[in-house]
Structures are given as structure tokens and as C-alpha cells.
Structure 1
Amino acid sequence: MLRIAICDDQPRELEVINEYITEYLDTHTLEAEIKEFSHPDKLMTTIEGENFHLYILDIVMPMVSGIELGKEIRRFDRETQIIYATTEPQFALQAYAASPINYLIKPIDKDQLFDTLTFAISKIDLSEEHTFTVKTVDSLRVLNVSDILCCEYRSHAVIFTLINGEEIISRTIRESFAEYIIPILRDIRFLQCHISYFVNMRRVERFAKDSFTLRGGKIIPISAKQYSVVRDRYMNFLMSKEV
């Protein structure tokens, strides 16, 4: 399902944008979850553990500007789509530091917003919504693959760390770690960097010769024997996602 975040410190502007988006979704028979944020700090806290496909951001907001917010979002997610909607045209050049898909001037023209939404949605890969079922000791958990930060093999079980910090531990597996994880590796965002670890490259914040630092500060080792392959795969991934 498409997930959309709107951030604007003016309640009426939030309401109007939400109404327009809802109308667009109804017209195009699309399902989406829309979340409103009246302060950039609330959105910044939310993205620590939640993904959105599309952000619509005001520029002039208290404490954190929409430009700073867009840069922070882009640090976490190179693929998400960002639309700016503001009364201030003079920030357009600075705004492109966050690689927005468009810069709309308020009052928003509905047709222009609709055209922008069509273009933005065409660039969103919803295939990342495939799931992976984990059998734990006492239940089944269905995980969105895009929510997985990394996977670790330990004591014949697999530990899935999610972007919200939760850890899901599988029951003992009979097959090898590499065989067990094959369905996840169909997603090109995942990379094996060590015999016991796979990482979601979208969630990497720092790459060093011996480790990845992931979103939230988790450090994952890189095998010395695999370093060259890991480096090339990761750099190719970054190059393919340049915006």
C-alpha cells in the first residue's frame, strides 16, 4: 500500500492537501495510508521506525525548515519521492538539495498537484511490499521486507532486526542461512556482507572497510575476504539510486 506523509504547521493547509490527495486516490482507485504531521520534529521521530513512499513538505516551519527535513529524509531514504508545497518561491533553489520531484507554490493548484502525484507514483516501486513469513517458537510473523534492517544467523536461528528496533527470532532452521534467506535476496537492496549477516543497503548510514553502520547505529561486520565484492555491490547500488 502507498504510504504518504504530509508535514505542514498550518492546520488548514494540512486539511486542503489531504482533501486533494484523497480525491486523487479515489479518482484513480488507489489505496493509500496518509499521515499528517503538524511539526517537523514529529515527522523526524516517526521516520526513525516507519517508511513512507511520498512526502509533501512545507518549507517554512518552526525549529526545522522543510529543506532541512528533506535532507534528513534523503539521508535515510534515497528512493522516496519528495514534493515541496510552500508560499515561499525564493527557496526553490535550496530545496533541490533534497532532490524533490516538484516545488509547488501555495495556494496549490489541484491540477498541478494531481499531475505531480501521477509522476511521483509512477516512480515508486511498490514491489518492495513483498513479505517474508518467519516461524518463531510460538507464532508466525509476516514481515514487510522493506521493514527489515538486517538479518543475522546465530545458534541455528535467524534474527531479523526491523527498522523500528524490534528483533524477531526464528525457530531453529534446518537449511543453511543462505538458502533460508533466498526469498529476501530477490530484493536487490539486500547484500550479504559476512557469512552470518545480510544488510538492507537502503538503511546504511556509513560504510567502512570492516563494517556497515546502519540506521539507528547498529554496526554489522564486513568479511575481509568479501570486502572487494561488498564494496563494488554497495557502490553500484548507490550509483543506481542517484537522484
Structure 2
Amino acid sequence: MQRILIYDDRIEHCNELKKLLEELGEPSPKVSVAVNAAEAERLLSRESFTAVFLDIELENENNGITFADRLQKQYSGMSLVFITAHIRYCEDIFATSPDAFLLKPFTLEKVRRVMQIIEYKQQSGGVLKINSGRKMIALPLSDISYIESIRRRLAVFDLSGKCIGEYYGISLADIQEQLPEFFLHCHQSIYINMKQIMTLRRFSLTLKCGTELPISQSRYRESKQRYIDFLGSEI
């Protein structure tokens, strides 16, 4: 079930959007609403949400983009949807890598389209969001073959085995909660995308791109069993 938080300083907008979300059909999402930062933070601390619908212009001249930046640093696995009467094409909005925009006035079709975007991203593995300085980087997880911690930096590799990003001051522990079940922690410093495994042998595996990676001796038995279970779920 989708668990959604709506944070808009206008309670009538919250209730209108909640009603439309609940009209989408079965299974209906569980929807909570907040009209100020204190309420939103209290709900976020008590429940695990799959998506947050966040107004850009909030109470007391608060900025939804600033709130989104804090939100993604603390709860990086959630989908983010900005709700607004109009989109201002400014760099600050896109630096937070929102999953979608929902424009006011709300309609059932607009809400349905946004939920389809969220569900598609979740089903396809979603995105890995990395906070790199002032910029939030969003990388599709299905396009990643493996992630490795190398000399105090995080390196991300695409399906061809090419390094597509290096991020200093970020560890595997910082991003591991974002990784779905098809990512395997095969080595202390490596997570691999099990969809990209070509062969698995004792203490090593080879990806479809030809890259060979080690499996820790202490992790071999668990890695082997998880890969067997993964293959069963893929059939």
C-alpha cells in the first residue's frame, strides 16, 4: 500500500487532494496531511511514507524547496512530488530531483498520472538520490551495474561497466537504505545489481559487462542464497 504525506499550508487543498487520491481505486493509498512544518516533521518521524506531495509556497514564506532538500537528506528513499499553481523553471527546483509535478487546480486525471509515474519508478527500481554538495543527483537504479566504495569516495558504474559518477564524503552506509532487493551487498565495499550477474562462482562473480568482482568469504553463502532466491523470483 502507498503511504502518502500531503504538506500544503491550505487545508482545503490538502483535503481536496486527499479525496482524489482515495478515489483512484483499490488499493486506496493511506493519506496523511500537514499544514505546517511541525506537523509534517512529526508525521515523518512516526511513519514511513512512500511519497510526499509538497507545496512549493508554504506558510510564513517558508520554501517547499528548502524543506524538500532537508527531507531528501533524512528520508532519501521517498518519492517527491511538488504541488503548485505554476512551475517556475529555476535551478533550485530541479536540484532536488523531484519525481513529478502536480499542477493546481487538481483533477482526478492529473493525480492518476502522477501516481502512475511514482509506481512506474518504484516498480522499475526507482532512483538513487545522492546529495552532492548543493545539488541532488538522481540516478535510475536499473541503469546501475554496481556501486563501490573506493578510497573514501563512492563510485557508481553503468551497465557497460563505465564509472558515471564519483562522490566524495559519501559511504555505502549513506545510500544502502535506498537500494532495492535486487542489489546485493557481496563485499564490504561493493553492492551489485543482481540483474546484471552473468556468472557466480566461489568468492567472485562476473557481470554482463564483463567486469569481475570479488565476493567476501564471509558473505559468500548469503550471497549465493540470495542470488538463487532472486533467480526464482525472476522466473
TM-score w.r.t. structure 2 length?
Answer: 0.50
- Residue 197 of structure 2 is matched in structure 1 by none
Q: Secondary structure at the match of 2:83?
A: strand
Summarize the Cα distance change of 1:112–1:213 in structure 2 as closer, same or farther, 3 Å threshold: closer
- Residue 36 of structure 2 is matched in structure 1 by 39
CA distance in structure 2 between the aligned counterparts of 1:92 and 1:106, rounded to whole angstroms: 18
Question: Percent same amino acid among aligned pairs?
Answer: 16
Cα drift, residue 12 of structure 1: 1.0
TM-score w.r.t. structure 1 length?
Answer: 0.49
For the 8 Å contact 2:21–2:29, the answer to whether it is kept is no
Summarize the Cα distance change of 1:60–1:118 in structure 2 as closer, same or farther, 3 Å threshold: same
Within the alignment, does 1:232 sit opposite 2:190 as a pair?
yes
CA distance in structure 2 between the aligned counterparts of 1:91 and 1:7, rounded to whole angstroms: 21
- Residue 240 of structure 1 is matched in structure 2 by none
For the 8 Å contact 1:92–1:103, the answer to whether it is kept is no
1:213-240 Cα offsets, whole Å, 9 max, x none, are 89xxxxxxxxxxxxxx43434xx69xxx
Cα drift, residue 47 of structure 1: 2.0
Within the alignment, does 1:21 sit opposite 2:18 as a pair?
no
Summarize the Cα distance change of 1:61–1:49 in structure 2 as closer, same or farther, 3 Å threshold: same
- Residue 114 of structure 2 is matched in structure 1 by 116
Q: Secondary structure at the match of 1:123?
A: helix
- Residue 48 of structure 1 is matched in structure 2 by 45
CA distance in structure 1 between the aligned counterparts of 2:188 and 2:81, rounded to whole angstroms: 33
- Residue 77 of structure 1 is matched in structure 2 by 75
Q: Secondary structure at the match of 1:42?
A: helix
For the 8 Å contact 1:80–1:124, the answer to whether it is kept is no
CA distance in structure 1 between the aligned counterparts of 2:121 and 2:11, rounded to whole angstroms: 29
Q: Secondary structure at the match of 1:78?
A: coil
- Residue 100 of structure 2 is matched in structure 1 by 102
CA distance in structure 2 between the aligned counterparts of 1:231 and 1:47, rounded to whole angstroms: 30
Cα drift, residue 101 of structure 1: 1.5
Cα drift, residue 62 of structure 1: 2.2
Summarize the Cα distance change of 1:208–1:3 in structure 2 as closer, same or farther, 3 Å threshold: closer
Decide which of 47, 57, 61 is 1:60's aligned counterpart: 57
Summarize the Cα distance change of 1:121–1:230 in structure 2 as closer, same or farther, 3 Å threshold: same
> For the aligned residues, what is the CA RMSD?
3.0
Where structure 1 has 5 or more consecutive residues not aligned to the other structure, the ranges are 128-205, 215-228, 238-243
CA distance in structure 1 between the aligned counterparts of 2:36 and 2:70, rounded to whole angstroms: 15
CA distance in structure 1 between the aligned counterparts of 2:91 and 2:83, rounded to whole angstroms: 14
CA distance in structure 1 between the aligned counterparts of 2:23 and 2:51, rounded to whole angstroms: 16
Instruction: Report the count of equivalent residues.
Output: 138
Q: Secondary structure at the match of 2:188?
A: helix
- Residue 203 of structure 1 is matched in structure 2 by none
Which structure ranks higher in relative contact order (CA pairs < 8 Å, sequence separation ≥ 6)? Answer: 1
